[in-house]
Amino acid sequence: MSATDAQTSMPDNTGRRGPWAEVFFSLLRSGTFLTGLGIVLFWVACALFGEHFAPYDPLADDIINALAPPSAEHWFGTDQIGRDVFSRVIVGSRDILTVAPLATLLATIAGTALGLFTGYFRGIVDDIVSRILEAFMAIPVVIVALLAIVALGTSKATVIVVIGLSFAPIIARTVRSAVLAERELDYVAAAQLRHESALHTMFVEILPNVIPPILVETTVRLGYAIFAVATLSFMGFGIQPPSPDWGLSISSNYGMIGGGFWWTVLFDALAIASLVIGVNLAADGVQGALND
């Protein structure tokens, strides 16, 4: 008795902050989260206001100065038609920072709904849906993307749908296991004893309590989504020229590394890496704060 009750009566004495305020203050104390957030916010600022502080127009060619190495004039050098790499890297965050979060959002919504249904109904519904999801997870994203592009044509929307749907089963699996644990709690039985509909029980009773694992999974998935978007643009699916997108730039310039023109590829690659690391640091921070 003493152990459990001491814990439940503790919050009486530890101030009036709600659970989400606790998480917020814990995030503010987390160096990992703040570092990650800083990197992500930097790129978000570039995406929103990039053209205002980029030194050159990222699309303007200057054939005479093509493939100039990094210099005081062009910090990151120029590409094969003389466009300023520094300006392109700055503005190049825009497409990836639209497509990847939207894909993650789609994956979260679809995955949460699937996870709630399979975890709530269990039994045969769970067996069938879970097997289908597992089969889906076994197919590589690139194959799905190829098929989708053949069917739907190439566009940002296609990339969002492809990545969103291929990440949904992973989020569904996390949500399902959280829901299975919640399902055993008595408040679900209490809802049944009020004749609540299954939808109400799932979305109003259970969902608010499984937000923390969803939040963690979403931030982790965002990192993967950025990587996936960059990969698909590199392969020529989705984001199309003349966008200064990072993956696309690497794809159109990587042939020239052999010629010693490393600057046309390196800075885009570093940009992708820094954004992925930033998101992952933030995800670590969120996970830490929620598990405290």
Partner 1 sequence: MTEPAKPANALELHDLSVAYRVGGRNRAVLRNLSLGIGQGEAYGLVGESGCGKSTVALTVVRYLPRNGSITGGAISLDGQDVMKLDAEALRRARAESVSMVYQDPGKALNPSLRIGRQLTEIFELGGVSGQAASDKAIAMLNRVRISDPASVMQRYPHQLSGGMQQRVAIAMALANDPTMLILDEPTTGLDATVEAEVLDLIAQLRQELSASILFISHNLAVVSNMCDRVGVLYAGMLVEEGPTDVVFNDPRHPYTVALLRCLPRGGQRKDHGRLDTIPGFLPGIGAAIRGCAFADRCALATDRCRTELPPLYDLGGRLSRCHYHEQAQSLPRATPSDAAASTPKAAAESVLRVEGLNKTYASHGHALRAVKDVSVSLRPGETLGLVGESGSGKTTIARLLLGLVPPDEGGRIELEGKPLAARLDNRTADQIKAMQIVFQNPDSALNRSHSIRHLISRALKRLAGLSGAALQARLDELVRSVRLTDRHLAVKPRQLSGGLKQRVAIARAFAGEPRIVVCDEPTSALDVSVQAAILNLLADLQSKEHVSYIFISHDLAVVRYLSDQIAVLYLGRIMELGPSENVFAGPHHPYTEALLSAVPKLDQTETSRIRLDGEIPSATNPPSGCVFHTRCPRKLGAICEEQEPSLAEAEPGHTIRCHIPYAELARLQKQKAVQTEPA
Please, which of residues 173-202 interact with partner 1 by CB under 8 A? Answer: 185-187, 189-190, 192-196
CA distance 21 to 12: 15
For partner 1, the closer of residues 20 and 49 by Cβ is: 20
Tell me if 271 sits within 8 A of 246, measured CB to CB: yes
Among 209, 240, 252, 274, binds partner 1 (CB under 8 A): 209
Q: Which amino acid is at 256?
A: M
Binding window for partner 1 (CB under 8 A); candidates: 15-23, 66-74, 104-112, 167-175: 15-23
205 belongs to the binding site for partner 1 (CB under 8 A): yes
Q: What is the largest CA-CA distance in the chain?
A: 81
Among 140, 208, 241, 242, binds partner 1 (CB under 8 A): 208
Which residues are paired to 84 by β-bridges?
78
Binding window for partner 1 (CB under 8 A); candidates: 1-9, 56-64, 159-167, 278-286: 1-9
291 belongs to the binding site for partner 1 (CB under 8 A): no
Task: Count Cβ atoms below 10 Å from residue 285 Cβ, excluding itself.
Answer: 23
13 belongs to the binding site for partner 1 (CB under 8 A): yes
> Is residue 232 classed as helix, strand or coil in its secondary structure?
helix
Inter-helix orientation angle 156-183/141-152, to 10°: 130
Least distance to partner 1, CB of residue 73, Å: 53
Rg (CA), the chain: 23
Residue 77, φ and ψ in degrees, nearest 5: 80, -170
1 belongs to the binding site for partner 1 (CB under 8 A): yes
Binding interface with partner 1 (CB under 8 A): 1-6, 8-16, 18-19, 185-187, 189-190, 192-196, 205, 208-209
